[in-house]
Structure 1
Amino acid sequence: MTLSVLFAGLLAYLLGSVPTSVWYGQAFFGIDVREHGSGNAGATNTFRTLGKKAGTIVLLIDVLKGWLAANLALILFYLNEITLDERVPMKLAFGIIAVIGHLFPVFARFKGGKGVATLLGMVLSIHPEAAGVCILVFILVMLSSRYISLSSIVATLAFPLMMVFNLFGPEHNLLVIFGFILFGLIVYTHHKNIGRLLRGEEARIPIGRRRSR
């Protein structure tokens, strides 16, 4: 493994470690979102704690983190550091490293979010068509259930299922394995939400009306 690949891996982790919700909340609201709502440093808790505008900004930046991290593989390819066949595996590797950075950010005492938005950014880089379907699934489940956690879990499961059934034609077998591993990761990071869903205690998000603050 070349030094440039190792450096790119470190950069992917640092990109994922950017605690968007924490820094944004502290800079513009004087609030650490980890001390409010669910205590999670992610876009969902930002929506609930700071409102739609803040939540949208945090969401987009967290998606961008995953997209940029995965695309570090393209830079290595253009620098002739990796081969064409290594692009997808390297995108997966750097994307996963960024998700780990989001979960355990070095810039926020290793207390981060759940990785869904950063995961989406990685999928957008690797397979934009499948990412589009995942977004659609997320929106449909959210509108019908008003549970963001359930929407995230179902949308994540949609990715490996699309790969298994070759919805977009023959795919890299590594994407199937990667998809199910990440689905397991999302289930793990949402295990408390799943418990609340089963008990009927999970908070629903308001749709079509202003949330009082």
Structure 2
Amino acid sequence: MLSLTWTLIGFLLGSLPLSVWLGRLALRTDIRAYGDGNPGGTNVARAGGRGLGLLAIILDMLKGAVPVALAHYVFQVDSWPLAPVVLAPILGHAFSPLLGWRGGKALASTFGVWTALTVPFGPFVMGGSVFVFNKLLNTPGWAVMAALLTLLAFLLLTGVTLPWVVTWIGTAAILSWTHRADLRQRPQRRRP
């Protein structure tokens, strides 16, 4: 029952379109009219600058990190019952009922949930690998997938259990869907 409660809380928090609301409040515009049309922090940055974009990304990360951290560390939800709690904010962001079941690419909320699970080293592994692969690869979706594989390698090296590996597979499946347009292209190295 505890797992179900935190799964619902995580999905509801994940589905809050904070970047869209921030764009409306601070910029008086719909940030989905910018860039790739997604309701995420990158388009807030495109519409209103880096500072506001960073705030949006942090908010999207928190809506993933907070329910997972509370469920795992405070309420001791672990193993298989933790898997749906971890996936819920990512699914909520990617398929928000508040946006007609359309959402963002869920990268920031993914970073949030896995940060909550892998502190203190996991965030550096994920953040560093996203940064490096974005510099090396021309297509953001392939950079995200490469960073996810780096996270998997980190998880395996730290001796995680099968539920965490299955949760990683679920995360990769969701991000493969949200980045499907990028993944239809061949990965190419970014030219200097």
TM-score range, shorter chain: 0.7 to 0.9
Indicate conservation of the 8 Å contact 1:88/1:126, yes or no: no
Deviations, residues 32-59 of structure 1 (Å, cap 9, x unaligned): 1223321111122323333211211111
Change (3 A) 1:45 1:150: farther
Q: Distance between the aligned counterparts of 2:168 and 2:78, measured in 1?
A: 17
Deviations, residues 62-94 of structure 1 (Å, cap 9, x unaligned): 1111111212313333xxxxxxxx424344321
Deviations, residues 170-203 of structure 1 (Å, cap 9, x unaligned): 22122222223322221221111223x4398xxx
Q: Work out whether 1:66 is the aligned partner of 2:64.
A: yes
Pick the structure with greater CA Rg. Answer: 1
Structure 1 regions of 5+ residues with no counterpart? 78-85, 205-213
Q: Work out whether 1:198 is the aligned partner of 2:186.
A: yes
The one-letter amino acid paired with 1:133 is V
* DSSP-derived class of the 1:95 partner: helix
Runs of 4+ in structure 1 over 6 Å off:
none
Q: Distance between the aligned counterparts of 1:93 and 1:24, measured in 2?
A: 28
Change (3 A) 1:190 1:20: same
The one-letter amino acid paired with 1:176 is V
Q: Compute the displacement of 1:138 (Å).
A: 0.8
Equivalent residue number for residue 211 of structure 1:
none
Q: Distance between the aligned counterparts of 2:187 and 2:112, measured in 1?
A: 31
In the alignment, which of 48, 51, 62 is matched to residue 49 of structure 2?
51
- CA-based RMSD of the aligned residues comes to 2.3
Q: Which has the higher contact order (CA 8 A, sep 6+)?
A: 2
Equivalent residue number for residue 76 of structure 1:
75
TM-score by length of 2: 0.85
* DSSP-derived class of the 1:89 partner: coil
Deviating more after overlay: 33-42 vs 44-53: 44-53
Matches within 5 A, 1:35-184: 35-73=33-71, 74-77=73-76, 86-128=77-119, 129-145=121-137, 147-164=139-156, 166=157, 168=158, 170-184=159-173
Change (3 A) 1:157 1:179: same
Count, aligned residues: 187
Q: Distance between the aligned counterparts of 2:22 and 2:131, measured in 1?
A: 25
The one-letter amino acid paired with 1:75 is V
TM-score by length of 1: 0.77
Q: What is the percent sequence identity of the aligned residues?
A: 23
Q: Compute the displacement of 1:130 (Å).
A: 2.6
Structure 2 regions of 5+ residues with no counterpart? none
* DSSP-derived class of the 2:20 partner: helix
Change (3 A) 1:7 1:173: closer
Q: Distance between the aligned counterparts of 1:157 and 1:50, measured in 2?
A: 32
The one-letter amino acid paired with 1:46 is V
